[in-house]
Amino acid sequence: MNTLGKRLKAARKSKGFTQQELEKLSGVSQQLISKIESEKIESTTEVFNLAEVLDVNAKWLATGNGEMSGESRVVSSEHSREDLNILKMLGMITSEQKKDALADIQEFIRRNQLVIEELTQHKKVA
């Protein structure tokens, strides 16, 4: 794979993403993704955002040098890929929507804790 377009398309397809899904996760427009993949654009600073979402080495994506995944990834060991995707998606919504999402998550956690407590009580009784 000797072009950015071919590498991007291969990485995107290996993750099972459509261009639209990659747009939502990376914040890079579908139009730009399409132009890169059709080799109308040979380089972009967006390669770092794309590489992070696709979980590939940014140097490999940009130049073809190095391993496809690994050494250059900038992903905190404290956070999973899902955590990072959630953070990216939160960046796409309004403050009011973030407040609503936080309330929903807190309620989800509260209900799960109640279920766990209930199960623990049943085990003690049995």
Whether residue 26 is predicted with pLDDT greater than 70 in this model: the reply is yes
Mean pLDDT score, 32-51: 92
Fold category of 1-92 in CATH = 434 Repressor (Amino-terminal Domain) (1.10.260)
Mean pLDDT score, 14-40: 93
pLDDT band at 30 (very low <50, low <70, confident <90, very high): very high
pLDDT band at 68 (very low <50, low <70, confident <90, very high): confident
* Structure-token pair, residue 96: 């009011």
Residues 6+ away with beta carbon under 8 Å from 72: 51, 57, 58, 59, 60, 66
Which pTM value belongs to this model?
Answer: 0.56
Number of other residues whose CB lies within 10 A of the CB of residue 6: 14
Are the C-beta atoms of 4 and 61 separated by less than 8 Å?
yes
Whether residue 86 is predicted with pLDDT greater than 50 in this model: the reply is yes
How many CA atoms, within 13 angstroms, populate the side-chain half-sphere of residue 57?
12
